[in-house]
Structure 1
């Protein structure tokens, strides 16, 4: 089954700034209209106006050239246990989020939410636990609150020269058998209906008996899963078997499984979270059954404990990454499920691990205190074109650098001596 990873991605280049073109165009129109030469002002009196006009036109030309230059600028796993479906049907876990809460007094909670997809009308989820578990519904808001608290810091780096996609350049196109004995081989220690789940808490003397129980209740258990359960049976663990009641989808002439409006009921979308509470001498997250997965797996754990937490080992996967680490207090949280779990204060550690080869998984994740309580938050850096107001900064700089040149040209023109009228002597008197 599939698992949700959640690696951080950084944002790409900033959006293009199209307002600079309108501002540049409007800045060059209408400036030539102004008062004409006043009474008694000759050609020489009109030169200052002509000089100002020439400077403005030169600046506008430089802005236009800078935009043309831009056009030619070079381009720069499922820890959820085992999902069992009826023969011939398929079901995959498209997203999994899990929270481990360790009180430090021998009590552990696992809150898990699965998002599933497939054509199965029924399925079961098997989760080994080290002791008898209490199972209740969780609050889906818990995961939204955790995502907000552990969200990466957003940072924007601004660059000077334009890149593909920045105005006025266009972005490139995308190419894109049971044992005999006094105790029953399988004991149903509890069974209840919780929202969409039919939950059975089981104690099994051997994996074959557990397989038979599931088969008699409408689900076939593969031989591989039977073998994977043997270490848990040897250790005296118990099991939580969950029948997922389908979310009914209307449509179709045949009412099938009794869906309103016709159509077969199928399992689809996010399921309500389940909370498992059990006793253990050290916090653990069961992972061994994920070795049966056919595709690469990814695990994300949110651990709430007194201190920063790490796993004892990699259990056959890639190195475990710390995605977030920080101490939470009730004062910094809004009323909700996360605040109730934090109590007077807990340290939140978010861990991520990939399993390229699920068959290599060789155990469960045991969680231990890290060497330090150093806090950590990822940074997602984006980039955008540096602007001054609506104008790209590089255009303003290029245009401004051309103004002194234009002014010097105009000044030289104004200082050039005027041509003397014909018949005027060098001394200024009339010629003879």
Structure 2
């Protein structure tokens, strides 16, 4: 009996250990999101529920405005983004993404069909609805080129010649990043990119990070349109990239970089940019908006950064949601009028035929008088 109890205890301990391991894997934080690396305070959890970015490129400089929506129990978190040249950082306008979402929203259209379907009389009364100049290497391994407070963000702009030194500097200053980040940062260090490191914290003491954060705007010199994605290889959960590209022409990604083929949600010229969009692009000339979305089911397969170039043409595109409606004429289903009309024509034809045949039967037949006496 004691041996049986010991066996049951051991089995129970094994089961509990496996359950704890599975729970630990489920709550493991995602160390990356979109174009940067995100890490919560040690022992806390933080997930990025949504990331949306707007990118403005004029052939010489690039501006990225990002909005993160986060969820978790972390009072602090760190986020780092590599940039190809010295970046200017400021708070973005909250209105920008509402305007872009409105501009790129699907249009509603109605499609008429002739014959009744399952949702129409005489079947039922329901209707169906059918188908957003690299600077030279600095002498010290890590150089702080600027540090400032922007709302709830503590922003540090850095250069680095050694990824390990960069990781150590960030850890020393409260940015606790995973060791694997050093490996992923090495290509950026070799290309002499710079970094924007940001410490996220709620404005009120004692609060945890949650909901939509204030947008951040980063501007830097670049003769090519690039969207940093390499650090997303560290993400533990699938990632979705929502990207609004503002340029002189329709833009496309040069490759899938390990994700699903991007879908175009909108493409078209905005003739008179207004509001926050006008402030971003300038109101003096039109801008071409390309809205893309891409899904990364296995982030570890991401091969590098997104590079975008001009599409083959500027053909506009906009999604449409269709409402299927039965074709009506004067409030009467067209099919009913057509069938009724055909039946009426058929009835008239039958009636005319009957009348003609009846008259032919009643007409007297003229008899010949041949052989009769005169």
Instruction: Give the TM interval when normalised to the shorter protein.
Output: 0.7 to 0.9
Cα contact 1:80–1:112 (8 A) shared by 2: no
Give the secondary-structure state (helix, strand or coil) at the position aligned to 2:63. Answer: strand
Residue in 2 that maps onto 1:340:
279
State the match for 2:370 in structure 1: none
Given that residues 328 and 342 in structure 1 are in contact (C-alpha distance below 8 angstroms), is that contact kept between their aligned partners in structure 2?
A: no
One of 315, 324, 328 as aligned partner of 2:266: 324
CA distance in 2, matches of 1:306, 1:280: 15
Shift of residue 296, structure 1, vs aligned partner = 1.6
Gaps of at least 5 residues in structure 2 are 1-28, 127-136, 346-374
CA distance in 1, matches of 2:306, 2:224: 11
| 3-state SS of 1:380 partner | strand
192, 204, 219: which one pairs with 1:277?
A: 219
SS in 2 for 1:208: helix
Offset from partner CA, 1:18-47 (integer Å, 9 cap, x none): xxxxxxxxxxxxxxxxxxxxxxxxxxxxxx
Select which of 199, 211, 214 maps to 2:155: 199
Distance, in Å, in 1 between the alignment partners of 2:80 and 2:256 is 23
Q: What does residue 227 of structure 1 align with?
A: 183
TM-score normalised to structure 2 length: 0.73
Report which of the two has the higher share of strand: 2
TM-score by length of 1: 0.63
Whether contact under 8 Å (2:268, 2:315) holds in the other structure is yes
- From 92, 116, 139, the equivalent of 1:183 is 139
What are the superposed Cα offsets for residues 288-315 of structure 1, whole Å, 9 maximum, x if unpaired? 0001111221112111111111121111
- Between the aligned partners of 2:88 and 2:253, the Cα distance in structure 1 is 25
Give the unaligned 5+ runs of structure 1.
Answer: 3-76, 172-180, 249-257, 259-263, 405-432
Q: Distance in 1 between matches of 2:342 and 2:209?
A: 66
Q: CA contact under 8 A between 1:247 and 1:267: conserved in structure 2?
A: no
Aligned to 1:109: 63
Inter-CA distance 90–398: structure 2 relative to 1 (3 Å threshold)? farther
Q: Deviations over 1:123-144 (max 9, x none)?
A: 0110000111000111111111
Question: How many matched pairs?
Answer: 304
Distance 1:165 1:112 in 2: 47
* Pairs within 5 Å for 1:278-293: 278-293=220-235
1:296 and 1:128 mapped to 2: Cα distance?
Answer: 21
Task: Give deviations 1:251-291, integer Å, cap 9, x for gaps.
Answer: xxxxxxx4xxxxx3111111111110011221110000001
Shift in alpha-carbon separation, 1:78–1:387, aligned structure 2, 3 A = farther
For residue 259 of structure 2, give the secondary structure of its aligned residue in structure 1: coil
CA contact (8 A) 2:56 2:281 kept: no
Deviations 1:49-108 (A, max 9, x none): xxxxxxxxxxxxxxxxxxxxxxxxxxxx8323000111111111111111111111x211
Structure with higher Rg: it is: 1
Q: Whole-Å Cα distance in 2 between the matches of residues 366 and 219 of structure 1?
A: 28
